Structure 1
Amino acid sequence: MATASLNNDSEEIITSKDSIVIVDNFQSIRGGRTLDVTGFTPDIIKAGHVIIMETATKNYKPMPLNGGATAYAALPADHVYAGILINSIPKKRPFAGILVRGTVNPAACPFPMATIQSAVKTALPLIDFRQD
């Protein structure tokens, strides 16, 4: 007789910075979105990560990272900034809450935002980027 386990493998996601990054959440994309994580290498997508949307397909994705995964890469062609990830999530279950109005502490974000912050502020005017 065949058997199968209904237990999920245990995993630990450290969310201690989530409430420091997302200071106020006044509005998010209703129902959240499942992210397309094709080509994204880290196993955990941390709260505060910039989320983008491909304009042709309406697929939501985490902002790509540079080769060393230490900073954001350039915004891909035909993509727009869509919001900021509210909670840290595993890449294998990319069910994302996406902030579109609120306050974000850029100093606590998982990657430096200096190179893209001005463009993100323009695209997401209802998000206040304020360092504590």
Structure 2
Amino acid sequence: MVKYEVAVTTSSLLQATTTNNIFIKLVGTDGERKRTWLKSIRGTAKFYLGAVSTFSVSCPTSLGKLVLIEVDKKPLPLFPEDAWFPNKVEVSSPEGDDYNFPIYRWIADSGVHLFREGTGL
């Protein structure tokens, strides 16, 4: 079992926070990790204004070079869906490689959003 460290940075823009559940799928040259709920030890994670939220994502084997992430969000039961503005997702691989996935946009729906590895401004 290998672990990827995932850091999600939420923007400092007004109302960038979300209370929705956030999910991520890591896609690499040697495979992909099924959709994973990013949650804290105490349950659901909060993606607050300006915060960096960190998570461990376990995989049976290495995914190789990461090329893509898929991000989606789902509202909690009895809560409305809200908009969220993540700046970026950074992933550290078990091999010691760091990957940067710039987002810098509002995610207001519950659809799956794909982001390629690269650099942001």
Q: Where is the helix percentage greater, Structure 1 or Structure 2?
A: 1
More strand by share: 2
TM-score w.r.t. structure 2 length?
0.29
TM-score with structure 1 setting the length: 0.28
Larger-Rg structure: 1
